[in-house]
Every structure is written in structure tokens, then in C-alpha cells.
Amino acid sequence: MRRIAKIGRLPAWAILAVALVLTLFPFYWMVRTALTPAADLYSDSGALFPQNPTMVNFQRILGLTTQEEARAAGGSGAQIDFARYLLNSVVYSGLIATLQTFFCAMAGYAFARLRFPGRELVFGIMIAALMVPPIFTLLPNFVLVKSLDWVNTFAGMVAPSILMTPFAVFFLRQFFLSIPRDVEEAARLDGNGAWGVFWRIVLPMSRGPLITIGLTTTVWAWKDYLWPLLVGREEETRVLTVALGVFLQQSPNTRPDWTGLMAGSTLSVLPVLLLLVFLGRRLVQSLNFSGIK
């Protein structure tokens, strides 16, 4: 019977393998293009591996070559201050992830435990906001940020996103509802108020869900393009996604610098990938500690 059960799992494993290949292949092709010399890009376009792999495209993106050396390597000679834009992306995504996770946790706990008039109505309206496409709020947010004179500032870039998102509030509320009330009552007997219970008891018990929301928010903010393009157009606030778009626009129209763009895209993915690897392990440990199945 065990052998039959193992054989029955083969189609499932095959489907998972195909899904894994389809998911990872675009990333592999990006790295493969980044390692391909610009002169071999079109002649070597059908090969799975570059015939003459090189790191010169990464050196060009990191500013380790001169314009003459970049053009000699087949690049467009376009420049990108990668370190500065990387720091801007870290600040932008870090502020949004930290503040949004904290405020969503406060809102989720309020909906889960506090009693106030119209609580269910307000929660229903907030959940209904999930059906509103983000593009509908883009123009009103831009008009508000411009009227506050926050264009080309980090305050204007993060302002529409730091308070909450309906999904995160709903997700955290559902977890807070699963926490036994006896734990909170014991904390209140020890002299803790509502804020003390939330800060000292509930948040430490919610590390797994908080890390989950923080990770998803970080990934979303890291790859965000349209809003930073509208609000953070200057060098001081330009993030990596916008900078890579500008880099491509600086290339000649007859031959875009695809190898340089793929090298920059590969480098831009690495910080988030490392974060997922590091916090992913912490997430599993936190979920096991919390008893979440």
C-alpha cells in the first residue's frame, strides 16, 4: 500500500517540478543575459548557457568602468549610481514595511479585542476596500502629496502606504482572535493596560504573522515602480526600479543595453532574496514556536 501511495504522488511531484521550473526560469534567463557579452547577445540568444561568460556588465552597473571601457564592452555608456539608488530603495521599502506592519497590527488588535460603536461596520468597509483597484487612488494621492509640497521627498513617497492595507489588518486580526483571552486577562491582573497587553504580550506572540506581513510588504515596496516614478523623480529620492528604467531610456533606440539592464536587475533582486532566505528561516521558527499549523 505504501508503494502504491508513493507512486500516486509522482504526478503531484511532476506538477511541482514543472511549476518550479516555470517560476525560476525567468530569473535564470536574467542572470544568463547579465553574464553574456553584449556582442554575443543576439548571436548566442538560443543557448542555455553563455559561450563567453563575463562579469563586465556587473562592473559597468556598479560604476567600476569608465564610459570608454563600457562602450568597448558593447554597452551604451549610460551611468547609474547604483549604491545611492540601492540605499534609497532600502529606506523606501524599510520605512513602509516597518510602519505599515506596526500600524496594521494596532488596527488588527483593535478590531479583534476592543469594543466600540460601529466596529463591525468600520471593519466591513475596510474589507470592502480590497475591491478598490490601487490605480483609482493614485491620482488623489498625488494631488494630496503635491499640495503638501512633498514631491521628491521620502515623506511623500511613503505617506500613502505607511498606515495600513486592508489585507494586512484582516490577516493580523484573524491571528489575534486565535490568541487565548486567558493570557491577556492574566496580563491585566498584573497591572497591564490595553497598550501594555498589546506591546508586551500580543506582539511577542505574533512574531510569525508580523514577519509574514513585513516580508510581503517589503517585497511589494521594493518592486514598486509607478508611485516612486511619479513622486521620487530626483536623484535624491530615486529608487532602483526607477533608476533602471532611466538607464534603459539612456540607451540608443536602435540597440537597448539589455545586458547592462539584466545585470542591474540581478543585483537589485539579491537584497530581497537574501532577506527572504534569512527571515524565511526565522518565520518558520516563529510559526513553530507559536503553534501555528
| Residue 252 within any structural domain of the chain | no
pTM of the model: 0.87
| Same domain flag for 130 and 264 | no
pLDDT by residue (tens digit) across 220-251? 999 999 999 999 988 899 999 999 988 888 77
| Residue 11 within any structural domain of the chain | no
| Same domain flag for 69 and 153 | no
| Same domain flag for 272 and 188 | no
pLDDT by residue (tens digit) across 5-50? 566 678 888 899 999 999 999 999 999 999 988 888 877 777 888 8
Tell me if 101 sits within 8 A of 217, measured CB to CB.
yes
Confidence at residue 283, expressed as pLDDT on a 0 to 100 scale: 67
| Residue 183 within any structural domain of the chain | yes
| Same domain flag for 112 and 215 | yes
Number of domains in the chain: 2
| Same domain flag for 72 and 95 | no
| Same domain flag for 67 and 87 | no
* Domain carrying residue 178: 82-236
Residue 72 has pLDDT above 80, yes or no: no
State CA 283 to chain mean position distance: 16
| Same domain flag for 38 and 172 | no
Three-state SS string over 185-204 comes to: HHHHHCCCCHHHHHHHHHHH
What CATH number is associated with residue 88? 1.10.3720.10
The lowest-confidence range among 57-61, 117-121, 249-253 is 249-253
| Same domain flag for 62 and 189 | no
